[in-house]
C-alpha cells in the first residue's frame, strides 16, 4: 500500500494542498499562508488574504486543479470572507519560508503597535532591526516596501492584519 492511500482523506487533502503554491509568493503554499481554513472529505474552505485580493480566483483554480489531478474531484472548494484572514494564520513554517524568500513576515500575535506599523521589521537578508518603511505599498497590496539601514537592501514586509 502506498503512503498516499494509507492516509485518511483529510490527511490526503492536506498533502495535496501543501503542494499548491501561492500565486504571488510561490515559496509558500496556501496551507503555509493560512488561506485554507477548513479541510473535510466534502470541501476545502478558503479565505483570501484580503477582500478583493486579485489572486483569489487563481488560488481557487490552483486548488481545484490540484484536487482534480489527485483524484479528489468531488471535493468542493468554497470561499468565505468571515472572519477575515489574519496574518496570525501564517504557520511558523510559512514565516520561515517567507523570510528565506526575502520577505519579512509579520510578527505573530500582531498587537496594536504592529498593526499601525510602529514596530520595526527584521531584515530577511541580514537579520538587522535597523530598518525603515519606504512605502506603505510594496510589490503586492498585502506587502509594504522597507529598507535595511545595515545592509542597504530593500525588502517587502507582509502587512499585519
Which neighbouring-strand residues pair with 155? 146
Tens of pLDDT along 2-41? Answer: 444 445 689 999 999 999 999 989 999 999 999 999 999 8
- Structural domain boundaries in the chain: 3-85, 94-158
Residue ranges of E strands in the chain: 36-39, 43-46, 76-79, 103-104, 131-135, 143-148, 154-158
Tens of pLDDT along 52-91? Answer: 888 899 999 999 999 999 999 999 999 999 999 988 899 9
The domain 3-85 belongs to what CATH superfamily? Fe-S cluster assembly (FSCA) (3.30.300.130)
pTM of the model: 0.84
The mean per-residue pLDDT over the stretch 115-123 comes to: 75
Reduced to 3 states, what is the DSSP secondary structure of residue 43?
Answer: strand
Which DSSP symbol is given to 21? B
- Given a cut of 70, whether residue 114 has pLDDT beyond it is no
| Model pLDDT, residue 115 | 54
Spatial CB neighbours of 147, under 8 Å, sequence gap ≥ 6: 131, 132, 134, 153, 154, 155
Tens of pLDDT along 90-99? Answer: 999 999 999 9
Cell numbers at residue 57, please? 480566483
| Model pLDDT, residue 132 | 94
Amino acid at each position: 500500500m502506498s503512503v498516499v492511500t494509507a492516509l485518511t482523506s483529510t490527511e490526503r487533502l492536506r498533502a495535496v494542498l501543501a503542494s499548491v503554491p501561492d500565486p504571488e509568493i510561490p515559496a509558500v503554499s496556501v496551507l503555509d499562508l493560512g488561506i485554507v481554513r477548513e479541510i473535510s472529505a466534502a470541501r476545502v474552505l478558503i479565505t483570501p488574504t484580503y477582500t478583493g485580493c486579485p489572486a483569489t480566483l487563481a488560488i481557487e483554480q490552483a486548488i481545484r486543479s490540484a484536487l482534480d489531478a489527485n483524484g479528489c474531484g468531488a471535493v468542493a472548494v468554497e470561499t468565505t470572507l468571515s472572519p477575515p484572514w489574519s496574518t496570525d494564520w501564517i504557520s511558523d513554517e510559512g514565516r520561515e519560508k517567507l523570510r528565506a524568500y526575502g520577505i519579512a513576515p509579520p510578527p505573530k500575535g500582531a498587537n496594536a503597535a504592529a498593526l499601525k506599523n510602529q514596530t520595526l521589521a527584521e531584515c530577511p537578508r541580514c537579520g538587522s532591526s535597523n530598518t525603515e518603511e519606504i512605502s506603505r505599498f510594496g510589490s503586492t497590496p498585502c506587502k509594504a516596501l522597507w529598507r535595511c539601514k545595515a545592509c542597504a537592501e530593500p525588502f517587502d514586509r507582509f502587512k499585519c492584519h
